[in-house]
Amino acid sequence: MRTIEDIQSDFELLDDWEDRYRYVIELGRELPPLAPEDMNEATKVPGCVSQVWLTSASDGASPPHLTFAGASDAHIVRGLVAIALALYSGRSAPEILSTDAETLFTSLGLKEHLTPQRSNGLRSMVARIQRDAKLALDAAA
């Protein structure tokens, strides 16, 4: 998977939104598949127009580091999942909780080019990731 820094760099090279849109879809294609048994009601992210599933695993360290995996049934949303995972996966729970995703999404131009429903879905993904980080932090305490 690409790092969030790689994604930001690539976005800077793309001049128009159509190219960025295609790039987001490409990121989604590179997303490792989620196991079918992980696509269930417990992992489904509410608030998304398309179906989105997110799983998380904590390493149990102090502070815990979390690894996320995800999937969606829509191409563009799968790319948004890939961006969210690049931003958060592998980081410590405190880092996840202090990361300002809105600023990143704005800098990439996502907020201004996504439909309100997709923007709400992206916020729902971030809220789920942050919730999982808080739960892992509480469990480690």
Catalytic residue among 4, 24, 31, 48: 48
Q: Nearest to residue 124, comparing CAs of 11, 26, 25, 45?
A: 45
Contacts of 9 (CB under 8 A, 6+ apart): none
> Is 48 an annotated catalytic residue?
yes
| Bridge partners (DSSP) listed for residue 67 | 57
Distances (CA, A) of 62 to 59, 95, 116: 9, 13, 37
Contacts of 118 (CB under 8 A, 6+ apart): 49, 76, 77, 80
Q: Which residues are catalytic?
A: 48
